[in-house]
Amino acid sequence: YYFVNHHRQIPKISKMSRDGIPTTVKWGKEIFDINIIPDNGVKGLKSQISDITNVPSDRLKLMPKSKGLWKGLLKDDFDLMSIDFERINLPVQILAMGSAARLSGPKSKTVFAEDLPPEEAARVAPEPSGLINMGNTCYMNSILQCLRVIPNFRSCLVNYESNQNSVNSHNSYSNRLFMSSLRDVYSNLDRTSNALQPNGKSQ
């Protein structure tokens, strides 16, 4: 099994070791047939078994079932080349332990912004839609945009529609027209991510 070369004992590399050692791996209720390449070391063996069991290498535990292998759990620094496979009944029997990593797909279908309906695209847009300036209306547009994000103000606009027919001296026609127009403008802005041209009533 050994030959002497300058007073050093070097293990022979058999043809069987080079071509692979027939091995049966039992993992749970499953059995796999592989060929071990001792020269690849423990890391290579674990990687080989990990590929067929889907158990991550760092969570994979290997126990010997055949005599003459290693004792207890296989350690990463164990030298597989030190095993005399010619004295072991083939195929080599190994017990593998470890939980397979779960392969999970995306929880929801990936949807791109350009494929969204206009209303949904407006909600996820990085910047809110705005109003197109009409002459020197930029300051007024800024004020309307500020009021737009105030929840209580928006709620009052919605409720105003149900009360616009009530008898009240303050609810003149012009007031109702302005409030309803403003409500419509905000509603249209909520449904688009593009700049909006104010409607005729708003003008």
pLDDT at 90: 87
Share of the chain above pLDDT 90, in %: 20
- What is the average pLDDT value for the chain, to the nearest integer? 78
Max mean pLDDT range (1-10, 28-37, 140-149): 28-37
**Residue 116: is its pLDDT beyond 80?**
no
More confident residue, 14 or 85: 85
DSSP class of 194: S
Structure confidence at residue 171 as a pLDDT band (50, 70, 90): low
More confident residue, 46 or 108: 46
